[in-house]
Structure 1
Amino acid sequence: MTDIDQELRRDRKPTRRSARKRGFLLFLRDLLIIFVIAIVVSFVVKTFLIRSFFIPSESMRETLQVHDRIIVNQLVPELVPIERGDVVVFRDPGGWLPPAAPIEQNPIVASVDWLLSVVGLSAPDSNDHLIKRVIGLPGDHIVCCNALGQMSVNGVPLDESPYVTLPVGDTRVSRDDFETTVPADSLWVMGDNRYNSKDSRYNGDTPGKGFVPIDNVVGRAFVVSWPLSHWAWLDNYPGVFAGVPESGE
């Protein structure tokens, strides 16, 4: 082999190594771009379309179990109107929840939790929200209970058997009688586990008098996503409210 051939081989080796190094750096760059785009898309989806919450209480049994994770449609009520029977997540109107103790986390866990919350896979603020079923819309007149133990909305008794949970042998859908008219821009909400739910009935001494401002609604829960054994669509049972006239009719 001549001196010229040896020199050419020496020149090629660094070139090949440089090409491999450059290819690896390009791969890392593309991977980083894909990761950033995924984070941005997830953030947009979580902020404007859907997000995840977990269930911290038993107020919606048997529809929802403690620690179930649900997916919430955030287009409700901004673009899609709320309907009677919808299961909604809402911010505490004030006084519904006891003061929450601060959660202490080590920096690593806190950082991971924050990142997951950005993309909607974690819900660290679930304890600041509540979930109930909408029974009354603005202007609705709600009365409970009639001789059959049913609740009435605008004079029409409801058969809530598809979703309500009652103690064995009890047919009254509320332990206590009540009568109310829902004010403008507000909702009357109740838990499906009627004898174990601190809902609109039992928050009359709060600033909102038990009503939930529509502006406090984060969205409508439409699916149980976790655990997989509990996976289910969340129905608003339109048949239960089919005969109810609009308020004022």
Structure 2
Amino acid sequence: MSTTDDTTTDAPSPDAEPGKKGKKHLPVWQETILLLGIALVLAIVIKALFVQAFYIPSESMEPGLIKNDRILVEKPSYWFDGPERGDIVVFKDPGGWLNGEEAAGPTSPVAKMLSKVGLYPTGGHLVKRVIGVKGDVIKCCDDQGRISVNGQPLNEKDYARLDNAECYGPMVDDCGEDWKVGPIPDGEIFVMGDNRNNSADSSFHMCKPTDKDCTANPYVDVDDVVGKVFVLLWPSDRFKFIHRPDTFADIPDAD
């Protein structure tokens, strides 16, 4: 009596190469390290070339940007052309513009490490609005307290903050004192904080009209500009895209 065995075995494919084994996968821990490495490289590249996160270090850009807000800065806009009037820019300290707290940046070791590779908002920079660029002449102020650029008054009531001040262009200690700067040198910009009574900006660092033999430099080198603020990222209930105010479109070119 014969019996039939229902058990079958898979025979090697006639097309299979002798001795060839299936593809071997990396262990989970190795795959994890590889993926983390790729993510780290991508973060560094993105930070260096495209987008970087920062936080607002002071009250100088209120009311639009508040201290400790998280913002995103894009860099491609300035690859070929410099900053434009009305842009909010992040730039390196020209020298002595930041106080100790603002210059410190992230304080914890982990935050410091993550900020280096673009995985945590960076500190130690300034955030201001560009008021003038190459060749511009800026004056403060007309009979309505407005700054003018190349003879064109700016309407800044929609974004600038005045605390019991009479003009939009005060130097911190001398609100209302008339002043003039320019023509702005090539490769430089003149910047101001939107909180005009609480911002150590270009108007604060310029020579006052009554100063004699003053050598102060109120300008920011374009090479020190990291990029343009385009998103208020956090807190989430105030998320918004940042745009250049319309009033800057009316400014004529410098002579």
TM-score (norm 1): 0.79
1:131 aligned partner = 127
Matched residue, 1:89 = 90
Match of 2:247 among 228, 231, 240: 240
The alignment yields a C-alpha RMSD, in angstroms, of 2.4
Range with bigger deviation, 197-206 or 49-58:
197-206
Distance 1:40 1:83 in 2: 31
Secondary structure in structure 2 of the residue aligned to 1:131: strand
Deviation of 1:208 after TM superposition, in Å, equals 5.8
Which position in structure 2 is the counterpart of 1:152? 148
Return the match for 1:121 from 114, 119, 122: 119
Cα contact 2:106–2:112 (8 A) shared by 1: no
Whether 2:219 is the aligned partner of 1:220: answer: no
> Would the aligned equivalents of 1:69 and 1:227 in 2 still touch at CA under 8 Å?
yes
> 2: distance between equivalents of 1:193 and 1:245?
25
Q: Which consecutive residues of structure 2, in runs of 5 or more, have no partner in the other structure?
A: 1-23, 170-174, 208-213
Q: Does 1:142 align with 2:130?
A: no
Q: Which residue of 2 aligns with 1:188?
A: 190
Greater RCO, CA 8 A, separation 6+: 1
1:199-220 Cα offsets, whole Å, 9 max, x none, are 1111126976111111111111
**Which deviations, in whole Å up to 9, do the C-alpha atoms of 1:87-135 show, x marking residues without a partner?**
0011111122245687896xxx51x2244224413245x1x31110000
**1:59 match: secondary structure:** coil
Q: CA deviation at 1:197?
A: 1.0
Question: Alpha-carbon deviation of 1:234?
Answer: 1.4
- Aligned mates of 2:201, 2:216 — CA distance in 1: 12
1: CA distance, partners of 2:104 / 2:231: 29
- Tell me, yes or no, if the aligned pair for 1:190 and 1:200 is still in contact at 8 Å: yes
Which residue identity lines up with residue 80 of structure 2 in the other structure?
L
Q: In the aligned structure 2, how far is the partner of 1:65 from the partner of 1:189? A: 18
Count residues with an aligned counterpart.
218
Q: Retained in 2: the 8 A contact 1:167–1:195?
A: yes
Q: Is the contact made by 2:43 and 2:119 (CA closer than 8 Å) also made in structure 1?
A: no
Contact 1:166 1:194 in 2 (8 A): yes
Matches within 5 A, 1:10-159: 25-98=26-99, 109-110=108-109, 112-124=110-122, 126=123, 128-159=124-155
Length-normalised TM-score, structure 2:
0.78
2:148 & 2:99 partners in 1: Cα distance?
Answer: 31
Q: In the TM superposition, what whole-angstrom CA distance separates every residue of 1:3-34 from its partner, at most 9, and x where no partner exists? A: xxxxxxxxxxxxxxxxxxx86x5333222222
Instruction: Measure the CA separation in 2 of the matches of 1:138 and 1:221.
Output: 20
Q: Please name the residue that 1:167 is paired with.
A: 163
* Partner secondary structure for residue 242 of structure 1: helix
Residues 207 and 73 (structure 1), Cα distance of their counterparts in 2 relative to 1, 3 Å cut:
farther
5+ long unaligned stretches in structure 1: 1-21
Identity %: 39
1:191 is aligned with what amino acid?
G
